[in-house]
Amino acid sequence: MIRAREVRLVGEEGGPQIVSLETAITLAKERGMDLVEISPDQEPPVVKIVDYSKFRFEQIKRAKDAKKRQKVVHVKEIKLRPSIDSHDFSHKIQHAKEFLEKGDKVKFTIMFRGREIVHKELGFDVMARVRDELGDTVQIEKDASQEGRNITMVVVPFVGGKKPKKSSESTHEG
């Protein structure tokens, strides 16, 4: 399957060496192994003498290990209204905290219907309440911004290092 006339043979004594394809195939057959193309994009292509079934097994094993270590982050959306009741608000914030504890991102969306869009400051006030309620447990990935008839904000759980400082320092009165 290798089409080049000359190849760079690696893994041999004396380091990588450029040899003809026929020589590399002969060396592989003498050892009872296979000639595998490692990097076809280089000039000349890089090949190695290995047992192909073992090589393929290790490739599959590495791919499985990489997949295990991969962390899938879901984006959970919580929809709010500009005139949300305090109990409904606290219930939705509780759900957001549960999502954040699991490591998911949370997208808050405030939906305006009809003429409510005239009072978009109410929506930004609700987003400020969300930000205050979640406090320093989150990082704001995308600050509150208007997109059509909605206001959206994306927060992620705060991970590692120092926690971000609160914008308003609280003082203890004694």
Compute the distance between CA of residue 19 and CA of residue 167 in angstroms, rounded to an integer.
66
- Residue pointed to by tokens 């998911």: 104
Do 6-69 and 75-157 come out as alike in CATH topology?
A: no
DSSP letter at 119 equals G
Domain boundaries, the chain: 6-69, 75-157
Second CATH level (architecture) for the domain 75-157: 2-Layer Sandwich (3.30)
Q: What is the pLDDT along the chain (174 residues), one digit of tens a residue?
A: 677 778 888 876 656 778 888 888 888 888 888 888 888 788 888 888 888 888 889 999 999 998 888 877 788 999 999 988 989 999 999 999 999 888 889 999 999 998 888 988 999 999 999 989 888 888 888 898 998 899 999 999 887 644 444 444 444 444
Q: Residue 42 is encoded by which pair of tokens?
A: 């280089």
Query: How many angstroms separate the CA atoms of 126 and 132, rounded?
Result: 10
- Rounded CA-CA distance 45/26 in Å is 17
Q: Find out whether 38 and 46 touch, Cβ atoms under 8 Å.
A: yes
So what's the pLDDT on residue 14? 57
pLDDT of residue 169: 43
Superfamily of domain 6-69 in the CATH hierarchy: Translation initiation factor 3 (IF-3), N-terminal domain (3.10.20.80)
The sign of the CA dihedral 62, 63, 64, 68 is: positive
In what order do the strands lie in the sheet containing 105-111?
75-80, 105-111, 150-157, 138-147
Give the whole-angstrom CA distance, residue 102 versus residue 9. Answer: 48
